[in-house]
Structure formats: C-alpha cells, structure tokens
Structure 1
Amino acid sequence: MVEIEFERRLERLFAESPELPDAGAFAQRVERRLDAGWTARRWLIGAAGVVGGVIGASQLMLSNVFQRVETAGDSARLLSSSINHISTGTDWMAALSGGGAVVWAAAAMAVVMMGFVLTRVIGEI
C-alpha cells in the first residue's frame, strides 16, 4: 500500500516539474542555432539539385535517349501500319510480334503510373 502512494506521489512530481531559471535563455539559444543553418542548408540543397540535374541531363544525352525516342517513333509508325493491316484482315499476330507494341504498351503504363504519382503528390499538398 505504501508503494502505491509513493508511486503516485512520484508521478505527480515528475508531471509537475518546475521550470528551470534559464529555460528562456536555453530556448533562445536553441532557436538561434536552428535558424542559423537554414540558409546554408537551402543553398546546399539547391546546389546539389543543380549538380544532379546537370549529371542527369548529361547521362540522358550520352545514352542516346533521343535516338531511342526516334526509334520508338519509327516503331509507332510501324505499329500504325500494322493496325491498318489488322483492320484489313492480314495476320495480326505477326503485326503485334514486333517490338513496337511492347514499347508503346510500356510507355502507356508509364504515363498511367505518372498520373497516379501526380494525384498522390497533389493529395499530399
């Protein structure tokens, strides 16, 4: 019984902790330290973003992505002509067995995925 009363008294003492005399000065020091680094952090994050963007753009240019997009355009033209053959009754399995349909299906899925990401980001804002 004595332990229960002691525990309750101890809990009350911890719940009602007295304010230290230098609490205000301590809070001001902490706020100054937190505020001082934000400008440097912003510049550092911005510089890292610019460097990352330059690296990403150079990697895109070096990986011949533009030539691949042009090839995908050629595949699209091939696919549209294949669809014309399909509508006229030619062998539709042979028309779809080329790589063009797969590329465009993957591109369509990527667009749908980006739509989902965009709606998620807008929902978070």
Structure 2
Amino acid sequence: MALAAAAFAIMSVIHFGVDIPVGFATISDSFPGAAPPEAVISAVMAIGATAVFTRRTTTRGVALATTLFSLLGTAYGLTITLGSTRTGDVAYHLAILTTLLAILGLLLVPRRSQSHQARDDRNDVRS
C-alpha cells in the first residue's frame, strides 16, 4: 500500500509539470487534470498503509476502503486515458490497477489469529 501511495504521489508531481531526470532520460508528462486526483488517491492510500502498519482492530476495514477507493479512481482515470494517445499513462494505469488488485486480494485472504499461530508454533517445537 505504501508503494502504491508513493507511485500515485510521483505521478501527481509529474502530472503537475515537474520534470524528473532519470539517468540518461527525463520523465516529463504534464497533465494538470490528473494531478489533483492522483494526489488525493496517494493520500488515501497513505492512510490505508498507516492503518496497516499500526495493526489496530479496524485495520482491515480501513485498508479495504482505501484500496477500493483507489481502485475506483484509477479505473475512472483509465477510462479517460484509453481514448487518448497517452500510451504511457495507459500503461501506468494498467500497472497500478494490477497492483491495487493484488493488494485487494491480500486483504481479502482471511488472516490467521494469533492463537492459531501460537498453537502452530508449539506443534512445530514438539515435532
């Protein structure tokens, strides 16, 4: 989730018109209409990542909500870029959608309780 938040933040900066030199090339893709939504999605994903890192009881709900919000926003962004010649943006949207779907999948896998983990650890010691 933190990686997705960082990716959205970087793309927002690039779309605000900041050129980023990367070795022998420069990433330059001013797209002012996309920059604010990407900044919002970045902040939302950062909230979700922070919730996961704190490991509170509400973590899963917050992480699911922030990931779903980001998925919807990214899917909407993809609908805008699909009809354009912005192949880099289309590729970015597809990559980040794949990442968000992977995050969602991980969040939907039931988590083992600590009591189950402790029991498994005791059984491993006995073996």
Of the two structures, which has the highest relative contact order with CA contacts closer than 8 Å and spacing of 6 or more?
2
Q: So what's the TM-score if we normalise by structure 2?
A: 0.30
More strand by share: 2
Structure 1 or 2, whichever has the larger Rg, is 1
More helix by share: 1
Q: So what's the TM-score if we normalise by structure 1?
A: 0.30
